[in-house]
């Protein structure tokens, strides 16, 4: 039976202060007036709630146990799982992903470990998370909803696509999981763009995911 191998993980922290400051700057760039409550202004304009706390994200280098390249070396990928509060980082990436560890679907360093060991490792990652410095060269999300048509009236979904295009996100049709999807590819130039891309991709899915997955290239 094939399984996934986790080779390494890196946790990053995006501080509340830096995120809120960047969100305010972005609102001003959109021509929005700031009332003094940037949380209200941002949610009113985008429909997305700004976090009132630091947020954390995990990068994972992984591969499949039965997938090798032409030199018989395991093929490795990087994946990202969105941004979370401290609680949801432990709840979603720690506890929920530990179910895959318990079943043998996910083996850190190609070894079986106890699920509680995985949770302890994720908790340690969160406590020692690095401030975001290095940005992905590209980050990819898949959406199952089609692009808005030329005749479709302005909707929240079409507005999301406009914001994504404002970040030079490449949007094209692709096949993912046996279904036709939209492939959204972005080269973030700031932590805010990275966070906002992850947040904007959620409304474009069939339904928001507790642990959204994004392909990463460094």
Cα 164 to Cα 55: distance, rounded to the nearest angstrom: 21
Cα 200 to Cα 121: distance, rounded to the nearest angstrom: 29
Taking alpha carbons only, the member of 39, 34, 148, 58 closest to residue 108 is: 58
Whether the CA torsion 89, 92, 95, 97 is positive or negative: it is negative
171, with CB counted inside 10 A (0-12, 13-18, 19+), is middle
Number of DSSP helices (H) and strands (E) in the chain, helices first: 7, 9
What is the tens place of the pLDDT at every residue in 12-60? 999 999 999 999 999 999 999 988 899 999 999 999 999 999 999 999 9
What is the tens place of the pLDDT at every residue in 60-73? 999 999 988 888 88
């Amino acid at each position: 039976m094939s399984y996934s191998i986790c080779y390494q993980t890196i946790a990053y922290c995006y501080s509340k202060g830096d995120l809120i400051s960047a969100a305010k700057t972005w609102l001003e760039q959109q021509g929005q007036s700031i009332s003094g409550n940037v949380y209200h202004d941002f949610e009113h304009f985008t429909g997305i709630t700004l976090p009132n706390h630091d947020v954390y994200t995990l990068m994972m280098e992984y591969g499949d146990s039965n997938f090798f390249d032409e030199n018989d070396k395991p093929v490795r990928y990087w994946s990202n799982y969105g941004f979370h509060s401290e609680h949801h980082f432990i709840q979603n990436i720690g506890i929920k992903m530990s179910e895959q560890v318990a079943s043998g679907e996910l083996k850190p360093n190609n070894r079986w470990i106890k699920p509680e060991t995985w949770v302890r490792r994720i908790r340690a990652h969160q406590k020692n998370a690095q401030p975001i410095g290095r940005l992905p060269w590209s980050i990819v999300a898949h959406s199952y909803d089609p692009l808005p048509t030329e005749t479709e009236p302005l909707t929240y979904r079409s507005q999301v696509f406009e914001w994504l295009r404002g970040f030079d996100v490449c949007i094209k049709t692709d096949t993912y999981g046996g279904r036709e999807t939209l492939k959204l590819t972005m080269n973030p130039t700031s932590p805010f763009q990275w966070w906002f891309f992850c947040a904007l991709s959620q409304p474009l899915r069939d339904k928001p995911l507790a642990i959204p997955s994004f392909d990463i290239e460094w």
